[in-house]
Amino acid sequence: MSDKKTNQGESTIRDIKLAPNGRQKIEWVKPHMPVLNALHEQFRRERPFVGKKILMCLHLEAKTAYLALTVKAGGGEVAVVASNPLSTQDDVVAALVESGIRAHAWYGATEREYFEHINQGLNFEPDYIIDDGGDLVATIHTRRRELLGKVKGGAEETTTGVLRLKAMDKDGQLEFPMISVNDARSKYLFDNRYGTGQSVWDAILRTTNLVVAGKTVCIVGYGWCGKGVALRARGLGARVIVTEIDPIKAIEAWMDGHEVMPMQQAASQADYFITVTGNINVINKDHFLLMKDGAILANAGHFDVEISKPDLRELAVSQRVVRPNIEEYVLKSGQKVYLLAEGRLVNLAAGDGHPAEVMDMSFALQALALEYLVKNNDLEPHLHKVPEEIDKRVALMKLESLGVSIDNLTPEQERYLAAWQD
Ligand code: ADE
């Protein structure tokens, strides 16, 4: 890839000439996002975001682009920055800039460039933010505190971001309201489980071109994402081992039919290791040396801290790229292990993220959470749930788009559920 990067008006992107390809990618996802289509149409008519500046820190690929265009259709002035240096698709970003959206991002940004882009995005002085992983919120509350009076609220996309927000809120440090989109049922039950389940395997399969059937897969962490990745591993014909620190989730994994054991024991048994914990160093030097020759390591958590890269480098006598997105580490003991996508979230760094039909619901929630924030400017500076009406509305819109209808409670049934005297 060319190393060219350009200033395009106020934007800093790879190359505006990539836009036609990006436009094509966006056109492909639109018909598969019917809920967002309906909101796009509604926002175009009602213009709820006129006069508002919205900064999004998200994985910059086609589905995200359609969210940004939907908010713009509602009259908002929109800017985007990346939420991971390896998930940015430069052609999609170019298409956004061509459509009048400001962008600061390119694929493969160094850590310094990544935070420079976030700062450039914040120079836009947003009224509202959409965050994925918490980097915008953290930057505003630490290095860009002058924006605290300006930013009126935001929404967070992912489990890791919500964990950071919960910690901030508990410490009384959150200075504007944030809505936890991740915790809506129409988000985590589908995006985290079926979205991650499919997109992680899509990325691993296209990156490695190896068989999964008959192999042993170790899923590290059995939250909603881990459940989905384990489910699809089973579907691909793998023997599945789950490692957990939560006894309840461990029983769930067991009763879902998976083997459960500590990492120390799983390390020598698996052919694939997939981390989905949101925690640090869950695979480390205690484990690498026990692994089979040829073991494949991938991370599906937000940050590249789950598989300890410092430990891996310390144990390695050599390191080289053997195929795009596959690094081979030869360990002192002689065995080779393969790290996918530098240990960054594999489904976006080595794939295109979740399927469009799934992101349809997640991004519809984001769009409606934003509209809710604009309409309710008196929310307390805490972490808020997505209102139940919005969660249900997105699910009903999805069902309608699928041509599926469901029953309603009869008045008698409603009375029965509400009664306690009988
Ligand atoms: N595409 C855009 N954002 C995403 C996310 N958070 N997870 C998976 N795919 C995505």
- Is residue 354 very low, low, confident or very high in pLDDT (cuts 50, 70, 90)? very high
- How many A from CA of 66 to the centre of ligand 1? 12
- How many A from CA of 345 to the centre of ligand 1? 10
pLDDT tens column, 11-57:
999 999 999 999 999 999 999 999 999 999 999 999 999 999 999 99
Which of 32, 59, 60, 360, when mutated, tests ligand 1's pocket best, judged by the most ligand atoms within 8 Å of its CB? Answer: 59
The pLDDT of residue 283: 98
The pLDDT of residue 421: 80
What is the fold, at CATH topology level, of the domain defined by 6-187+354-401? Rossmann fold (3.40.50)
Q: Which structure tokens are listed for 87?
A: 């998930």
- How many A from CA of 153 to the centre of ligand 1? 21
Sheet of 316-323, strands arranged across? 259-260, 239-243, 216-220, 272-275, 295-299, 336-340, 326-331, 316-323
Which of 157, 229, 348, when mutated, tests ligand 1's pocket best, judged by the most ligand atoms within 8 Å of its CB? Answer: 348
- Is residue 385 very low, low, confident or very high in pLDDT (cuts 50, 70, 90)? very high
Q: Do domains 6-187+354-401 and 196-349 have the same CATH topology?
A: yes
CA pair distance 327, 205, nearest whole angstrom: 15
Report yes or no: 131 and 80 within 8 Å, Cβ to Cβ: no
The pLDDT of residue 2: 43
Q: What is the mean pLDDT of residues 354-380?
A: 98
Ligand 1 binding pocket, CB closer than 6 Å: 58-59, 61, 63-64, 132, 157-158, 195, 199, 347-348, 353-354, 359
Q: Is the pLDDT of residue 4 over 70?
A: no
Report yes or no: 94 and 22 within 8 Å, Cβ to Cβ: yes
- Is residue 1 very low, low, confident or very high in pLDDT (cuts 50, 70, 90)? very low
* DSSP one-letter code for 306: S
Q: How far from 148 is each of 10, 128, 134, 155, 315, CA to CA, in Å?
A: 23, 11, 15, 15, 44
pLDDT tens column, 300-345:
999 999 999 999 999 999 999 999 999 999 999 899 999 999 999 9
The pLDDT of residue 422: 67
Atom 9 (ligand 1) nearest CA: 353
3-state secondary structure of 174: coil
pLDDT tens column, 213-236:
999 999 999 999 999 999 999 999
Q: What percent of the chain has pLDDT over 90?
A: 97
Partners of 179 in beta bridges: 155, 384
Looking at domain 196-349, what is its CATH homologous superfamily?
NAD(P)-binding Rossmann-like Domain (3.40.50.720)
The pLDDT of residue 7: 72
Atom 1 (ligand 1) nearest CA: 353
* pTM of the predicted protein model: 0.95
Atom 3 (ligand 1) nearest CA: 59
- Is residue 176 very low, low, confident or very high in pLDDT (cuts 50, 70, 90)? very high
User: What are the boundaries of each domain within the chain?
Assistant: 6-187+354-401, 196-349
